[in-house]
């Protein structure tokens, strides 16, 4: 079952640490969009996920949609991951379609937050 999405104006709480935003931080949704996420194994051996807005096929003939087993390259440093830099090449271990991504204001600063599954509604 798909989780219920959040909408602009909703107050949310983070449930994991994400790019310098600690778990338990309250924010307000500014915008929402959906995309694909890819689970990859990074250099230290851990598994992380990258969004389709920052990770694309390393084969120019492949197109934009990657499948499990394909290799891709990090194309954007916009999300400032500690585990991935522009130009890093990773194998795709899992593809997750229709992941909601959000622009969220935390303390009057807009941050891009990946994965609505990492948020809960603030009551």
| Chain segment 11-58, per-residue pLDDT in tens | 999 988 877 889 999 999 999 888 888 999 998 999 988 888 889 998
Rounded average pLDDT over 95-108: 87
Rounded average pLDDT over 116-123: 84
The span from the first CA to the last CA of the chain, in angstroms, equals 22
The 10 Å Cβ neighbour count of residue 65 is 12
Which residue is listed with tokens 């090449």?
89
Q: Which two tokens stand for residue 8?
A: 């602009």
Q: What's the rounded Cα separation, in Å, for the pair 113 and 19?
A: 9
The domain ranges of the chain are 11-121
pLDDT of 80 reads 56
Percent of the chain clearing pLDDT 90 (strictly above): 35
Q: What's the rounded Cα separation, in Å, for the pair 112 and 123?
A: 22
Q: What's the rounded Cα separation, in Å, for the pair 52 and 108?
A: 27
Topology of domain 11-121 in CATH is SH3 type barrels. (2.30.30)
pLDDT at 1 over 50: no
Rounded average pLDDT over 62-77: 88
């Amino acid at each position: 079952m798909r989780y219920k999405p959040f909408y602009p104006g909703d107050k949310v709480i983070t449930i994991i640490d994400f790019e310098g935003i600690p778990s338990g931080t309250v924010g307000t949704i500014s915008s929402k969009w959906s995309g694909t996420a890819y689970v990859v194994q990074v250099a230290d051996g851990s598994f992380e996920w990258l969004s389709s807005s920052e990770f694309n096929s390393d084969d120019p003939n492949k197109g934009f949609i990657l499948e499990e087993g394909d290799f891709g390259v990090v194309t954007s440093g916009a999300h400032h991951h500690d585990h991935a830099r522009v130009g890093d090449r990773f194998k795709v271990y899992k593809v997750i379609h229709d992941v909601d991504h959000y622009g969220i204001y935390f303390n009057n600063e807009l941050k891009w937050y990946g994965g609505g599954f990492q948020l809960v509604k603030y009551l």
